[in-house]
Structure 1
Amino acid sequence: MSLTSGAELPSKKYLNLAAVKKLVAVAEAEAEKANVSVTICIMDDSANILFLQKGDKASISTLEWAQRKARHAALNGSPSKNAADTVKAGHVEALAFPFFFPNQGGLPIKVDGQLIGSIAISGGPSAVDEAIGQAAIDALLK
């Protein structure tokens, strides 16, 4: 079967530059309100880095942590906190899963049930990291 027009091709939402800038602006503002210096990582749905920024006072290790949290959320379509909960429940075999990262702060970004990317925050307490990322997603999707 051949396609007769481009109209027959599926369309896909994605994180464009404007969306990334909105996510970053909100995350930076939320981090400032929470008085934490964080690293922000945004990935597309294939876990390609679209944005990575370390806060001035954030630990150098947050660069790696944020990427791992974001990769988990992008490739598993679930918050990285779910991975932490899985390990806390005693399912340590899950640590063998590729791109599994059990640390709160990485969130998938979904539109109409479709995964379009992820955001992860690292540098504050885990619950604060996740709250910053969730505020950014909420602002983007409102």
Structure 2
Amino acid sequence: MDDTIEQRTLSLSGALRVLDTAVAAAERAGLQVSVAVLGRDGQLKAFASMDGASVLSTETARKKALTVLKVGRATHEFAAELKAAMAAEPELFHGMLAMDGIATFGGGVPINVGGQLVGAVAVSGASSEQDEAIAHKAATMLQGERSSGGGNDGD
């Protein structure tokens, strides 16, 4: 039996490309947001706060990305599950909100390469739906490159 495991994580070059994709998508939409890209280990790999983005969006983007890594799914999915459980178990909802680094609204998305979680990207500063759409576009750009024979980010 092996006492260790190997986990792939997003490389710096991959994180920067994810970041660039998110910023470009926000610019095209005329939005000013903050974008956080984390490796699988929770390390902040890339970050940008666009001109005009709110100060609050800086920390919120990081918290959204951390939430993805903690719960293993997009923040809008996690938020929906919490809302559904709130009636039956209100203490669960309030307990989650009290935890440090948990965000319960859309905009955080897992980055998967080859079916494996390698990091997370989160966007904050627009509506939850707009944040989610930008983050999703950025998170899936590496998958598109991988399937078309490009890059090996996450190695």
Aligned pairs (5 A) from 1:91-102: 91=86, 92=90, 93-97=92-96, 98=99, 99-102=101-104
Q: Tell me by how many angstroms 1:78 deviates.
A: 0.6
What is the count of residue pairs matched by the alignment?
A: 136
Is the Cα contact below 8 Å between 1:43 and 1:49 reproduced in 2? yes
Is the Cα contact below 8 Å between 2:68 and 2:110 reproduced in 1? yes
2:104 partner SS = coil
The reply on whether 1:103 has 2:105 as its aligned counterpart is yes
Is the Cα contact below 8 Å between 2:16 and 2:46 reproduced in 1? no
Query: Partner amino acid for 2:82?
Result: V
- CA distance in 2 between counterparts of 1:117 and 1:109 reads 5
- TM-score of the pair, normalised by structure 2: 0.78
Which residue of structure 2 lines up, in the alignment, with residue 78 of structure 1? 73
Query: Partner amino acid for 1:129?
Result: D
Moved more, 9-18 or 102-111: 9-18
Which residue of structure 2 lines up, in the alignment, with residue 40 of structure 1? 35
Instruction: Kindly provide the CA deviation profile for residues 37-62 of structure 1, in whole angstroms up to 9, marking residues without a partner as x.
Output: 00000111122211222111110000
- 2:56 maps to which of 43, 57, 61: 61
Q: 1:10 to 1:85 in 2, by over 3 A?
A: closer
- TM-score of the pair, normalised by structure 1: 0.85
Is the Cα contact below 8 Å between 2:33 and 2:53 reproduced in 1? yes
1:61 partner SS = helix
Give the alignment's Cα RMSD to 1 decimal. Answer: 2.1
1:135 partner SS = helix
2:55 partner SS = coil
Is the Cα contact below 8 Å between 1:69 and 1:80 reproduced in 2? yes
Q: Tell me by how many angstroms 1:106 deviates.
A: 0.3
Gaps of 5+ in 1: 3-8
